[in-house]
Amino acid sequence: MKPAPLDHAAPTTVGEAVALLNDPEREAVALAGGQSLMPMLNLRLARPDLLVDLTRVEGLDHIRESAGWIEMGAMATKRAVERSSLVRERQPMWHEATLQIGHPQIRNRGTVGGSMAQADPAAEYPAAAVALGAEVRAVGPSGERTIPATEFFLGYLTTALAPGEILTEVRVPVIPPGRGWAFREVCRRHGDFAMAGTAVTVDLDASGRCTATRIALFGVGPVPARAVEAEKIVDGEAPGEEIFERAGRAAAGAIDEPLADVHASADYRRHLAAVLTGRALAQAATRAGRPEGS
Amino acid sequence: MTVEIPKRIDQLPNPEPRYIGKRVTRREDAALLTGRVEFIDDVALPRMLHAAILRSPFAHARIRSIDTSEAEAMPGVEAVVTGADALRWQRVSGSSPDGWGGRCPAVEKVTFVGEPVAAVAATSRYLAEDALERIEVDYEPLEPVVDPFAAMEEGSPLVMEANGTNVMMHRVFTWGEVDEAFDTAAHVFTERFRWNRVGANPMETFGTVCEWDPVTLEMTVRGAIQSASFMGLGRAATFGLPTNLVNVKANAHGGSFGGKGGGRGIDIAAMLSRKAGGRPVKWIEDRVEYLTSGGSQAWDRHYEAALAVDADGRMTGFRVTLVDDLGANGEGYGSISAAKPLTAFTGPYTIPAAGYDLALVATNKLPSGPYRGMGPPPHFMVLEQLVDIAARALGVDPAELRRRNFIPPEAFPYTIPSGNEYDSGSYEEVLDAALALAGYDDLLRWRDAARADGRLVGVGVATAVEPGVFDWNAYATVGLPQTGVPEGATVSFDIRGCATVRVGFAMEGQGQYTLVSQVVADYFALDIDSVRVIQLDTLAAPPSFGPGGSRLGVAITGAVLGACERLAEKMRTVVAGLMQTTPETIELRGGRFGIPGVPEAQMSLAQVAGTMLARSDLLPPGMDPLPEATYVWTAPDRTPADEMGRAKSYLTAAQAVHVVAVEIDPDTGQVEIVKYALADDCGTRLNPVVVEGQTDGGIAQGIGAALYEQYVYDDEGQPLTASFMDYLIPTIAEVPRSDKAAVVTPSPFTALGAKGCGEGAIHTTPAAVMCAINDALAPLGVRARETPATPERLWRLISGAGVGASGSTGEEREQS
Amino acid sequence: MIGDRRIRVSVNGTAYEVGVEPRTTLVDFLRADLGLTGTHVGCEHGVCGACTVLVDGLAVRSCLMLAVQADGSEITTVEGLEGPEGELHPIQEAFLEEHGLQCGFCTPGFLMATYEMLTDDPKPDEDEIMEVLGGQICRCTGYQGIRRAVDCAIDKLGGTRPADVFGAGGPEGPDAPDAPDADPVGADGAGEGSAR
């Protein structure tokens, strides 16, 4: 279990990194925190000629608020996010999602951008990003662009990043006062990838009915996706166990190709997704309307 | 000279023992805690090469050809071996049932995914792995057989064509009037069970550094080796070498639990070394290799079992039909695992008759090997589930039904129907202690109240006997030789009266070097820091098997005390000579030799040892001057197996009762253990802190087997659990705190009354957890029959979405 | 073959400048190139935690990092815990006294994870302990001795930072959560800074 021969470059600017990634002579791969890529390298399941290590690129590890968005540099570690009082207070779902990722020893190196670019279907950040309406900033040879999270995840371990493009920032809207949220997952052991998970936000209108509901499932389908039909079931209704359970079943039922592995069959994942979504909607609705939003 | 080994602590020649039976901090730990202990991967020898192994991607395929030329031409590559070398140098493995052994790397055919096909030695592991990618193997894939029932059918693909069948062995054992017991029973409870493959997974994988000199043919084997002498004998047999050409230097190793395997890795490293002119070759198994191709996988079992119970709730008969899927060739002593239950077949109960229908079946999966407990943990899971089924049907409290059937204290030594003899026990006392510690009545009230609220909660009580002190006589049933298992020690004093003890086994985690120090220090009334334990290579060490089968604590205590007795006798002779009296008048007491009641006629250890070493002219004529003695201990009074496999084999029988409470999330099937309490009796507890540590570790492994761990194969024989993301070992978050109580019923047969205690918890925990789960499920009228009880399996049971145990459609059948 | 890169690292307070092949993992570098074999390899895919070391004060998997990535870093391994006279660190003493190890193979990883945890928070609660030590696998102890050892280490340290036990010069832990450069965001939530 040793990596195949590879070269390593540690650029200090985004421009250099993009240039290295676009070396026509060599197959280059960006290395962020390495917590997913390094096992692949050790197993020789990934064998690039060149690792473009983003660790030393300047300006990629910020965590800040700007105009209603929490902006996190791609190389901000999950541990830094976890410890950020800004994220905890202004985007508590993102904070909660962070705590579900592995263990501190993994979060110490794993990065926000790495998790998004890896696009593991059972990962927490992609689902939170989809539910929260996050955006991804990427820089490539032809400049910078912004991609909505809902358009970023294309398939199993596949994103909208073009070859040679680097994810530089993830921007997540702050949770506005009064919006309820919940982030739940079921794992075999704490810290494992989820067999199913759900990220939910719910607003309550003046009459106490649900509105602007957003539901994103993970660990079930090949990509985290919004459960639009289920959202419609909830919106306009008063919070209630029956409606949330129905929405949960709808959300889970809408997944085309549920994943299956040694831990959970497709049926079971779908079932968990339904249960979790129902529970999460209830939790989010309970939180909705509270001034602290938590 | 007969040696009387003290059977009780108060028989030691020391009125104030300071260490035995006390909570002694381990002497091994300071070096371990500071990174000083040399594990095998830490070994670096001059000119050492590093090996990597090319493994089969197919479960079943013929090897048409192998081209290693490109790999051999790579810079840094010093040797390559294939099956052709194995054919030249190796004999077939002796660790399989007769006729099923193979060679390694594979010759002509591969029979499981991960079977070695070739190997490379290069100047670094990185380069060796690069070179593997340049080896071309042309395979002709064959149809694999993965399911043991399919493997038993006519026309199945054959794992070894020459044998004409995939059934390695089929035996039917009958002990007592079992047919009559079932015919006349008031109640018969029948159920099927599935225990899926689990395995040891010590945190250190196997590793070795081998030197095999092509000129002298001397072989030096270093490694993470559980039984150094046994491994050495095995390698000599494999390569047809005189046994004294193979010297094994076992390193301290990072756990084993029987699952270190390694013989085949040594064979490969040795052949690479021989081809590289005798240069040392290191091979470190990586974790993926360990999980898919290592020595770890054990107990892939399909059970059908029945319990006969009379009108008073007395168990009168127990029948087990076991189809044990041993994988490709039974290599690595997997067959032992099916035979060991004979040593405790009927558990702690007075069941008078039993039957065992045992089929060992070959499939295209990794050969099944040993794992802690060596077979009884699934067996007790089966027995204890049946006892609970009976209790539920009869409306008797499960603890009470067990109590009613316990072997009573006055019945020991007690011979069970399958032939083994239990030394001693106080089973009811252990049960009472466990129930009291758990607050059993309160737990039941809690359960009933929660159940009334619609929650799925359950309480499980399970008990098991732990056969201790491994003995080969138990394994004649599966064709292995009937011999004793020796453990030796040499105790010596230097001129200052400091003791050195030489043993033949490496540190593995059970604190045996501390135990040896405790025993010698208390025998001679020394400070424990005056005792040093040294491990010798196999060619220098006293006979030793090392750890395994809950034996080493008992065995090494016997060996060390035997050596102490002999040494004391020798020193008494010296002192008698110096004091011009007879040895019988000299007493060793509190670390001094002398004539009792005569204060001026006393000598210290240092004085006696110093005289022996420095003034041999003063010793009785012809006397060996070395203050040193060796004793080789074997279990006394063992008998070979008869035609029904009955033998007095394992020397001790510890017993435990575990009480577990669980809550199951009805929507997700997840199990939370909310209470864990136990009592056990393993005789005299030589170092209670170590005994408790063994129990704690066994509980965690038992929880793993009951809830998390399973080696999974697909229909093509591809292993799907090739990483620690897939094979789930419990972490601290999955293992609850446990409360423990001890009952002490000394063994009448062993040194100081100790019993084997390394495997008790894993015998009991899976049964207890499954009992608790099934108690929780009882109101739903469903039962979990398959381990591990994963969330999905439980959810399926709870939701009625399907049967829980694949391959199990068994139903309870009650006759009345 | 790709040529060696020169890297500079400080390991347990000793500075090294060494050539290393880019693909070499940090754990292989520490063990094979520097001879610091106290850090153990358990799985090489980041799950078991046996190889956990501190890199700039943070507990990380040294199997999931290339040695070249450690260029310029301060690394602490188990060999760096003991005092100048070979005294055991209080965390090590606690594991010894409470039977927090059996085979000892996973132990260096547990020690390093505990070290970071107690640097971060001298009085972690049960949940924090589960969260951190849940990232380390032990197959021998069933974790009961480890639980006791961590409780004992908390008592022994009595609030002293693990790095300060033997006076100055111990490995620095990660910055406390409220340190300016760890959470750069000011109360107004508009600051900017480094993640480390």
Tokens found for residue B770: 């499954």
Sketch the domain layout of chain B as residue ranges: 9-37+486-633, 40-142+206-284, 374-468+648-799
Nearest CA-CA distance, residue B33 and chain C, Å = 6
Q: Which of C134, C177, C192 sits opposite A103 (nearest CB)?
A: C134
- For the structural domain made of B9-37+486-633, what CATH number should be given? 3.30.365.10
pLDDT score, position C1: 59
In residues, how long is chain A?
294
CATH number for the domain including C120? 1.10.150.120
Q: Is B39 on the interface with C (CB under 8 A)?
A: yes
Best of A41, A103, A193 to mutate (most C CBs within 10 Å, chain C)? A103
Question: Hey, are the CB atoms on C41 and B41 less than 8 Å from each other?
Answer: yes
Give the CA radius of gyration of chain C: 17
What is the number of structural domains in chain C?
2
Q: What percent of chain B has pLDDT over 90?
A: 91
Neighbors of chain C with 3 or more C-beta pairs under 8 Å? A, B
CA B658 – CA B696 distance, rounded (Å): 12
Q: How far is B73 from chain C (nearest CA, A)?
A: 15
* A75 and A168 housed in the same domain: yes
**Is the model's pLDDT at B814 over the cut of 60?**
no
Q: Which residues of B touch C101 (CB under 8 A)?
A: 29, 32-33
Measure CB to CB from residue C135 to each of A38, A51, A102 and give the nearest one. Answer: A102
Average pLDDT over residues B90-95: 82
Closest CA to B649 of B414, B468, B406, B487: B468
Calpha distance B725→B733 (Å, rounded): 16
Contact B795 A262 (CB under 8 A): no
The 8-class DSSP code of residue B707 comes to I
Helix B376-394 vs helix B398-405: crossing angle, to nearest 10? 110
A235 domain-assigned = yes
Of C2, C65, C194, the CB nearest to A109: C65
Does A235 share its domain with A135? Answer: no
Q: Report the side by side order of strands in the sheet with B281-284.
A: B77-82, B116-122, B49-55, B281-284, B207-212, B219-223, B246-250
* Domains B9-37+486-633 and B374-468+648-799 agree in fold: yes
Co-location of A75 and A41 in the same domain: no
* Shared-domain flag, residues A129 and A113: yes
Residue C171 lies in a domain: no
pLDDT beyond 90 at B404: yes
Is residue C184 a part of any domain in this protein? no
CATH code (residue C47) = 3.10.20.30
Model confidence pLDDT, tens digit, residues B215-264: 999 999 999 999 999 999 999 999 999 999 999 999 999 999 998 888 89
Domain range for A28:
7-56
A212 contacts: CB under 8 Å, gap ≥ 6 = A179, A201, A202, A203, A235
Banded model confidence at residue C176, pLDDT cuts 50, 70, 90: very low
Contacts of B615 by beta carbon, 8 Å cutoff, 6+ apart: none
What the block records as the tokens of B301 is 């079992």
Kindly determine whether residue A271 and residue B795, on different chains, have CB atoms separated by under 8 Å: yes
For helices B605-614 and B552-578, the axis angle rounded to 10 degrees is 70
Contact B33 C40 (CB under 8 A): no
Region B212-216: what's the mean pLDDT?
Answer: 98
pLDDT score of B330 more than 80: no
Residue A290, pLDDT score: 59
Where is C26: in which H helix or E strand?
helix C26-28
d(CA C23, CA C46): 16
- Is residue A1 situated within a structural domain? no
Kindly state the helix (H) or strand (E) to which residue B503 belongs, with its residue range.
strand B499-503
Indicate whether C180 belongs to any domain: no
Cα separation, B504 vs B227, in Å, equals: 9
**What confidence tens digit (pLDDT) does each residue in B265-299 have?**
999 999 999 999 999 999 999 999 999 998 879 99
CA neighbor of C122 nearest in space, from C165, C169, C180: C165
Q: What is the mean pLDDT of residues C7-28?
A: 97
Best probe of the C interface among B201, B203, B256, by most C CBs < 10 A, is B203
> How far is Cα A69 from Cα A171, in angstroms, rounded to an integer?
6
Last residue of a domain, one of C80, C104, C127: C80
On the question of pLDDT at C194 being above 90, the answer is no
- pLDDT tens for chain A, 294 residues long, are 999 999 999 999 999 999 999 999 999 999 999 999 999 999 999 999 999 999 999 999 999 999 999 999 999 999 999 999 999 999 999 999 999 999 999 999 999 999 999 999 999 999 999 999 999 999 999 999 999 999 999 999 999 999 899 999 999 999 998 899 999 999 999 889 999 999 999 999 999 999 999 999 999 999 998 999 999 999 999 999 999 999 999 999 999 889 999 999 999 999 999 999 999 999 999 999 755 444
Please check whether residue B251 is in contact with residue B43, taking contact to mean a CB–CB distance below 8 angstroms: yes
Contact with chain A for residue B205, Cβ under 8 A? no
Q: How far apart are CA B286 and CA B264, in angstroms?
A: 14
Neighbours of B493 (CB within 10 A): 26
Domain count along chain A: 3
Q: What is the C-alpha separation between A93 and A87, in angstroms, rounded?
A: 9
Query: Domain check: are A18 and A35 in the same one?
Result: yes
**Alpha-carbon distances of B813 from B88, B188, B246, B481, rounded to whole Å:** 57, 7, 57, 40
CATH number at residue A155: 3.30.465.10
The residue with tokens 């999931």 is C64
User: DSSP assignment of B509-562, as one string?
Assistant: SS-HHHHHHHHHHHHHT--GGGEEEEE--TTTSPSB--S-TT-HHHHHHHHHHH
Reading phi first (left if > 0) and then psi (alpha if -120 to 50, else beta), residue B719 is in: beta
Whether CATH 3.90.1150.170 fits B40-142+206-284: no
Q: Distance between CA C79 and CA C12 in Å, rounded?
A: 7
DSSP secondary structure letter of residue B780: G
Q: B693 vs C145: CB contact, 8 Å cut-off?
A: yes
**Total CB pairs under 8 A between chain A and C:** 139
Q: Is A105 close to C136, i.e. CB distance below 8 A? A: yes
The alpha-carbon gap from C185 to the nearest alpha carbon of chain B, in Å, equals 33
User: Quick one: which of B552, B550, B487, B555 has its CA closest to B682?
Assistant: B550
Radius of gyration of chain B from its Cα atoms, rounded to whole angstroms? 28
Q: How does the average pLDDT of chain B come out, rounded?
A: 95
Which range marks the domain in which residue C124 is found? 90-164
Task: Using the predicted structure, report yes or no on whether residue C98 has a pLDDT greater than 60.
Answer: yes
Choosing among A6, A8, A29, A65, which should be mutated to test the C contact, i.e. which has the most C CBs within 10 A? A8
Say what the ipTM of the complex is.
0.96
Measured between alpha carbons, how far is B290 from B298 in angstroms, rounded to an integer?
13
- Which among A200, A195, A166 is positioned nearest to A181, based on CA atoms? A200
What ranges in B138-177 are assigned the alpha helix state H?
Answer: 148-152
Both A117 and A41 in one domain: the answer is no
Please tell me which of the candidates A66, A75, A103 has its beta carbon nearest to residue C132. Answer: A103
Name the residue among C157, C184, C162 with its Cα closest to residue C173: C162
Is A185 inside a domain boundary?
A: yes
**SS3 readout for C82-110:** CCCCCCCCHHHHHHHHCCCCCCCCCHHHH
Q: Is A76 inside any structural domain?
A: yes
Cα C23 to Cα C66: distance, rounded to the nearest angstrom:
6
Please report how many Cα atoms fall inside a 13 Å half-sphere around the Cα of residue B350, on the Cβ side.
Answer: 18
Identify the chains in contact with B, defined as 3+ C-beta pairs within 8 A: A, C
Domain end call among A173, A203, A221: A173
Q: A104, C182: Cβ pair inside 8 Å?
A: no
Which CATH number among 3.30.420.10, 3.30.70.260, 3.30.420.40, 3.30.365.10 corresponds to the domain B374-468+648-799?
3.30.365.10
Cα-Cα-Cα-Cα torsion A222, A224, A226, A230, nearest 10 degrees, comes to 70
Q: Are C68 and C16 contained in the same domain?
A: yes
Q: Please check whether residues C75 and C95 belong to one and the same domain.
A: no
Q: Is residue A294 part of a domain?
A: no
Where among C59, C80, C101 does a domain terminate? C80
How does DSSP classify residue B406? B
A69 and A160 together in one domain: yes
Confidence of residue C169 (pLDDT cuts 50, 70, 90): low
User: Pick from C48, C80, C112: which residue ends a domain?
Assistant: C80
CATH number of the domain residue A204 falls in: 3.30.390.50
Chain B residues inside the 8 Å CB shell of C31: 41-42
Beta strands A28-31; A50-53: pairing state: parallel
- A168 lies in the same domain as A210: no
DSSP string, A212-273: EEEEEEESSSSS-EE-HHHHHHHTTS---HHHHHHHHHHHHHT-SS----SS--HHHHHHHH
pLDDT score for B336: 86
Q: Collapsing DSSP states into helix, strand and coil, what is residue B134? A: coil
Nearest CA-CA partner of A109 in B726, C9, B730, C73: C73
Q: Where are the beta strands (DSSP E) in B253-411?
A: 281-284, 297-298, 301-309, 315-327, 353-362
Query: What torsion do the CA atoms of B288, B289, B292, B297 make, to the nearest 10 degrees?
Result: -110
B residues 490-529 near C, CB within 8 Å?
507-511
3-state SS string for B573-635: HHHHHHCCCCHHHCEEECCEEECCCCCCCEEEHHHHHHHHHHCHHHCCCCCCCCCEEEEEECC
